[in-house]
């Protein structure tokens, strides 16, 4: 599962890395293409500049054309300068154009344009020179001087006729001039002379005309040359331009092709890259989906396996519960009967056999209890309580319970608990006691001589939180290093021969460890084989109060008196009951009220005690052997001394009304199991004592006795005992002793089919069992009490149950 997860992560990361590499490659490629494209765009701009240059050259040429015309017209130097500047600029631009085309050789074209330009300039200059000459040549004075030489006999003044072939302006000039000359030489001019003058003039004019025509021709020729030159120049420029344009077009097409190719290539690359990325993503998605499906399948399989394991655990738990329960019942019966047989007359051999049976039964019962605990721990059903207790007291109690009173070994038990542990702390005293009991009993079991030291400390971790450290150190056989590793596992025993010798199931330490963990604590072991072992438990606890001093018994009594809700101190009560449990229960209640107490187990003894003592009150059972409650009240009321003595009947009989009791002389009657409050109220009324009902809060925290179990609930008795553990102990012990006898008698009566005796016995047993809420056995006893017949099997069943109950109670007070 974990590796599948890791593989998915690796795949996702690899996928991302590959996609990132491909994406960077694509970006790099596209960037490269963009750069190339911008270079093409750059060259485009350059080309545009070249075209602009060409068109500028063309414009400049036109301008120079205009300037040249103006120059020809005016012949002004200023215009010539402008023209030259324009030609220079054209040449400069041509040079620039040539330079900008690195790849194309324009030299030929520009050379020829330059030459044409030079030629044009030459032509222009010549034309201007011609024009100048024209302007500077005075044809009229020439003509005049020529005409002065003409014959003075020229007399014909008919100018019109004479100059009819001349141009008007010539004619005009000549006429003016002739008028003038006639005025001067009127006397001298003769007709003859006039003819010769005309001839001369004609000739002069013809010459002039010729010269003029020649000049005009020359100008025209120059102009034509200039025009031609311009044309050629323009053509050359046009062809240059066309060539450049052509080249430019080709370049543009080429660039467009390159660009298109580039675009195609880029889009192809992008498409291919995209496809590859898609494929990779697809590959990884398929792969990851495969992995996820696989891991889902594994998960489903794991869940199935987990469900199966849980169902197995549940079945095992059920099986364990069933088997332990089924084992416990017959086992307690065996033990019960063993106890019964032990009380009969037996020879030594039989006693020995019975001892063996008892030991084995006890061993199996311990094993069954351990198994039950273990299965509860494994199923997480072992509940932990948070109760207040005194660890020092708990340690002392446990030691007292575990170490047999009649020590047969030479082993010193040393308790070294620090003063700090003599306080009230909060944790689960039952579990801590269970742990401690196992450690101490192990130490006792595996130590033949020397000492067992039980030490305890309360370490401060924070303000309220403390660590309870208890260690049990013995000088016993010790534990080998190999064994230490598995000592806390189930069924781990070092050496079967030792176990056989010492007994044990191999579950104790496994349960101990789990219990310690359940309490958020731990257990550690230090041991040397042959030298002893030291088990240390560390349990986090909460400190409740600083009560250091262990209250002495007397102090306790004082305290109890102080807080008595009904103070009967100084008064004496006689309690009569044939059922030891009930008797001791009532005794404890009376004690808690401060009474001085006398007891009797039947009416006869009661009467005897009554006569020899002075009593303030009698509390009596009704159904008793020898002399019952009714007989007793009869005797009491008929005796003058006791006729006003308050007597309260405590009866389990429900078939007789209260009035019957009061009629025969009882002051009151309480139905067993009565409530302490009822009893106190009744006593207070009869003895005129103050009684204020106090909220009687059951604080199971103060006891080490397990108050509740599957087959009993001792809360009421705990209440009766005034929440005193020792009193509880006494009551239960009394009940167990009485019940043992009652059972024997019951079996006899059942065998003899003596229903009446059975009924009486059941009646005697019922109140106490009711008080203990031992519901399983109550039903049968009620049948017996009402003289109903029951089958052999029912009786056997009842017997098993009551033995089981007694065994549980016994464990509870001795644990
Ligand atoms: P058991 O019920 O057999 O005592 P435990 O789990 O309590 O089971 O103990 C397991 C084994 O650990 C014992 O059988 C014994 O071999 C060893 N062991 C436990 N406590 C001690 C000790 N104080 N000294 C020597 N050996 C011990």
Give me the pLDDT at residue 190, please: 62
Give me the pLDDT at residue 204, please: 66
- Alpha helix stretches (DSSP H) within 343-382: 348-378
**C-alpha dist (Å) from residue 158 to 145, 155, 171, 196, 382:** 22, 9, 12, 15, 167
CA distance 64 to 282: 73
Identify the residue whose C-alpha is closest to ligand 1 atom 13.
Answer: 493
Give me the pLDDT at residue 136, please: 63
Q: Are 769 and 743 in contact (CB under 8 A)?
A: no
pLDDT per position as a tens digit, 440-451? 999 998 898 899
Structure tokens at 441: 């009993």
Q: Which long-range contacts does 741-747 make (Cβ < 8 Å, 24+ apart)?
A: 742/579, 743/336, 743/340, 743/799, 743/802, 743/803, 744/340, 744/343, 746/784, 747/340, 747/799
> pLDDT-based confidence at 469, cuts 50/70/90?
very high
Give me the pLDDT at residue 525, please: 94
Q: Which atom of ligand 1 is nearest to the CA of 438?
A: 7
Identify the residue whose C-alpha is closest to ligand 1 atom 20.
Answer: 442
Going by C-alpha positions, the residue among 117, 109, 112, 99 that lies closest to residue 240 is 109
**648: helix, strand or coil:** strand
Annotate 22-48 with DSSP letters as a single string.
Answer: HHHHHHHHHHHHHHHHHHHHHHHHHHH
Ligand 1 mutation target, pool 485, 509, 533, most atoms within 8 A of CB: 509
CB-CB neighbours of 486 under 10 Å: 14
The residue among 236 and 587 whose pLDDT is bigger is: 587
Q: Which atom of ligand 1 is nearest to the CA of 488?
A: 6
Q: Is 508 in the pocket of ligand 1 (CB under 6 A)?
A: yes
Q: Is 477 in the pocket of ligand 1 (CB under 6 A)?
A: yes
Give me the pLDDT at residue 154, please: 46
Q: Which atom of ligand 1 is nearest to the CA of 511?
A: 6
CA distance 76 to 128: 9
Identify the residue whose C-alpha is closest to ligand 1 atom 25.
Answer: 478
Measured in Å, residue 618 CA sits from the centre of ligand 1 at 54
**C-alpha dist (Å) from residue 103 to 130, 205, 248, 251, 520:** 45, 64, 12, 11, 92
CA distance 718 to 738: 19
Give me the pLDDT at residue 226, please: 73
Ligand 1 mutation target, pool 449, 471, 504, 525, most atoms within 8 A of CB: 504
- Alpha helix stretches (DSSP H) within 613-724: 629-638, 658-664, 676-687, 715-720
Say how many CA atoms lie within 13 Å of 210 toward its Cβ. 5
Identify the residue whose C-alpha is closest to ligand 1 atom 21.
Answer: 442
Three-state SS string across 373-418, please?
A: HHHHHHCCCCCCCCEEECHHHHHHHHHHHHCCCCCCCEEEEEEEEC
Cβ-Cβ contacts under 8 Å for 430 (sequence gap 6 or more): 385, 704, 706, 815
Measured in Å, residue 356 CA sits from the centre of ligand 1 at 22
Q: Is 471 in the pocket of ligand 1 (CB under 6 A)?
A: no
Beta-bridge partners for 453: 414, 473
> pLDDT-based confidence at 239, cuts 50/70/90?
confident
Q: Are 352 and 342 in contact (CB under 8 A)?
A: no
Q: Are 120 and 233 in contact (CB under 8 A)?
A: yes
- Name the region of 476 (left: φ>0; alpha: ψ -120 to 50; beta: rest): beta
Beta-bridge partners for 192: none
Q: Which atom of ligand 1 is nearest to the CA of 510?
A: 6
> pLDDT-based confidence at 566, cuts 50/70/90?
confident
Lowest mean pLDDT among 312-316, 416-420, 425-429, 573-577: 312-316
Structure tokens at 630: 């009714």
CA distance 632 to 603: 6
* Average pLDDT over the chain, rounded to an integer: 79
DSSP state of 343: T
* Burial (CB count <10 Å: 0-12, 13-18, 19+), residue 806: buried
Give me the pLDDT at residue 757, please: 87
CA distance 40 to 258: 9
pLDDT per position as a tens digit, 617-675? 999 988 888 888 888 898 888 888 888 889 999 887 766 777 788 888 898 888 877 77
Backbone angles phi, psi at 810, to 5 degrees: -60, -45
pTM as predicted? 0.46
Q: Are 157 and 182 in contact (CB under 8 A)?
A: yes
488-515 average pLDDT score: 74
**pLDDT > 90? residue 482:** no
Q: Which atom of ligand 1 is nearest to the CA of 494?
A: 16
Instruction: Give me the count of residues in the chain.
Output: 815
Q: Element (H or E) spanning 747, and its range?
A: helix 725-751
Give me the pLDDT at residue 64, please: 84
Cβ-Cβ contacts under 8 Å for 332 (sequence gap 6 or more): 365, 800, 803, 804, 806, 807
**pLDDT > 70? residue 560:** no
Is cis: bond before 673, omega within 30 of 0?
yes
CA distance 243 to 239: 6
Give me the pLDDT at residue 701, please: 45
Three-state SS string across 554-604, please?
A: HHHHHHHHHCCCECCCCCEEEEECCCHHHHHHHHHHHHHCCCEEEEECCHH
User: How far from chain centre, in Å, is Cα 56?
Assistant: 78
Annotate 148-183 with DSSP letters as a single string.
Answer: HTS-TT-----HHHHTTTS-HHHHHHHHHHHHHHHH
Q: Is 493 in the pocket of ligand 1 (CB under 6 A)?
A: yes
The residue among 794 and 372 whose pLDDT is bigger is: 794
Q: Is 532 in the pocket of ligand 1 (CB under 6 A)?
A: no
Going by C-alpha positions, the residue among 145, 163, 173, 160 that lies closest to residue 199 is 163
Give me the pLDDT at residue 556, please: 35
Structure tokens at 469: 């450290």
Q: Is 442 in the pocket of ligand 1 (CB under 6 A)?
A: yes
Give me the pLDDT at residue 193, please: 60
Going by C-alpha positions, the residue among 453, 605, 607, 598 that lies closest to residue 535 is 453
**697: helix, strand or coil:** coil
pLDDT per position as a tens digit, 244-274? 777 777 877 887 788 788 888 878 888 888 8
């Amino acid at each position: 599962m974990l590796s599948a997860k890791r593989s998915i992560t690796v795949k996702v990361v690899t996928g991302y890395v590959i996609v990132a590499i491909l994406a960077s490659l694509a970006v790099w490629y596209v960037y490269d293409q963009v750069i190339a494209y911008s270079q093409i765009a750059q060259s485009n701009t350059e080309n545009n500049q070249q075209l602009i240059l060409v068109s500028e050259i063309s414009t400049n040429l036109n301008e120079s054309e205009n300037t040249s015309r103006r120059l020809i017209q005016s012949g002004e130097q200023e215009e010539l300068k402008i023209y030259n500047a324009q030609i220079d600029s054209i040449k400069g631009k041509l040079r620039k154009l040539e330079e900008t085309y690195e790849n194309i050789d324009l030299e030929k074209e520009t050379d020829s344009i330059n030459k044409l330009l030079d030629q044009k300039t030459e032509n222009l200059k010549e034309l201007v020179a011609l024009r100048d000459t024209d302007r500077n040549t005075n044809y009229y004075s020439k003509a005049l001087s020529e005409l002065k030489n003409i014959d003075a006999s020229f007399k014909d003044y008919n100018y019109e006729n004479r100059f009819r072939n001349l141009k008007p302006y010539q004619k005009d000039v000549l006429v003016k001039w002739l008028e003038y000359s006639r005025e001067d030489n009127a006397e001298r001019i003769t007709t003859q002379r006039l003819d010769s003058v005309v001839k001369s003039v004609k000739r002069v004019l013809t010459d002039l005309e010729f010269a003029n025509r020649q000049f005009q021709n020359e100008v025209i020729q120059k102009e034509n040359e200039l025009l031609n030159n311009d044309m050629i120049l323009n053509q050359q420029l046009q062809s240059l331009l066309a060539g450049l344009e052509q080249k430019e077009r080709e370049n543009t097409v080429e660039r467009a092709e390159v660009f298109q190719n580039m675009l195609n290539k880029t889009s192809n690359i992008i498409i291919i890259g995209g496809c590859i990325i898609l494929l990779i993503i697809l590959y990884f998605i398929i792969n990851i989906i495969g992995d996820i499906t696989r891991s889902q399948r594994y998960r489903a399989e794991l869940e199935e396996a987990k469900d199966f394991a849980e169902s197995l655990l549940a079945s095992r738990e059920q099986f364990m519960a069933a088997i332990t329960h089924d084992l416990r019942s017959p086992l307690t019966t065996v033990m019960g009967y063993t106890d019964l047989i032990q009380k009969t007359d037996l020879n030594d051999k039989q006693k020995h056999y019975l001892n063996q049976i008892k030991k084995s039964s006890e061993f199996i019962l311990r094993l069954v209890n351990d198994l039950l605990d273990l299965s509860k721990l494994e199923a997480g059903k072992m509940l932990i309580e948070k109760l207040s207790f005194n660890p020092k007291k708990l340690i002392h109690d446990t030691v007292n319970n575990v170490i047999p009173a009649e020590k047969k070994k030479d082993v010193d038990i040393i308790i070294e608990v620090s003063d700090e542990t003599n306080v009230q702390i909060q944790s689960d005293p039952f579990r801590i006691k269970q742990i401690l009991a196992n450690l101490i009993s192990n130490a006792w079991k595996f130590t033949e001589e020397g000492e067992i030291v039980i030490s305890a400390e309360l370490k401060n971790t924070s303000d309220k939180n403390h660590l309870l450290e208890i260690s049990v150190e013995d000088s016993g056989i010790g534990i080998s290093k190999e064994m230490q590793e598995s000592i806390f596992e189930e069924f781990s025993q070092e050496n079967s021969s030792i176990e056989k010798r010492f007994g044990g199931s191999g579950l104790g330490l496994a349960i101990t460890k789990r219990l310690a963990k359940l309490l958020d604590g731990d257990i550690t072991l230090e041991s040397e084989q042959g030298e002893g072992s030291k088990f240390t438990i560390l349990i986090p606890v909460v400190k409740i109060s600083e009560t250091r001093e262990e209250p002495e018994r007397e102090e306790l009594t004082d305290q109890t008196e102080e807080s008595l809700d009904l103070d009967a101190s100084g008064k004496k009560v006689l309690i009569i009951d044939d059922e030891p449990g009930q008797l001791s229960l009532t005794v404890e209640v009376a004690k808690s009220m401060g009474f001085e107490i006398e007891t009797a187990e039947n009416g006869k003894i009661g009467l005897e005690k009554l006569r020899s003592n002075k009593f303030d009150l009698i509390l009596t059972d009704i159904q008793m052997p020898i002399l019952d409650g009714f007989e007793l009240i009869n005797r009491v009321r008929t005796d003058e001394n006791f006729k006003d003595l308050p007597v309260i009947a405590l009866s389990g009989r429900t078939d007789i009304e209260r009035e019957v009791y009061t009629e025969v002389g009882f002051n009151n009657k309480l139905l067993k199991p009565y409530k302490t409050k009822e009893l106190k109220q009744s006593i207070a009324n009869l003895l005129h004592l103050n009684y204020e009902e106090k909220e009687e809060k059951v604080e199971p925290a103060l006891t080490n006795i397990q108050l509740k179990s599957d087959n009993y609930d001792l809360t009421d008795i705990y209440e009766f005992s005034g929440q005193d553990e020792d009193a509880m102990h006494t009551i239960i012990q009394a009940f167990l002793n009485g019940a043992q006898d009652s059972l024997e008698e019951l079996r006899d009566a059942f065998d003899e089919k003596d229903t009446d005796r059975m009924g009486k016995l059941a009646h005697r047993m019922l109140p106490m069992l009711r008080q203990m809420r031992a519901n399983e056995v109550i039903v049968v006893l009620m049948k017996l009490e009402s003289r109903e017949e029951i089958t052999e099997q029912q009786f056997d069943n009842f017997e098993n149950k009551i033995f089981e109950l007694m065994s549980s109670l016994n464990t509870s007070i001795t644990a």
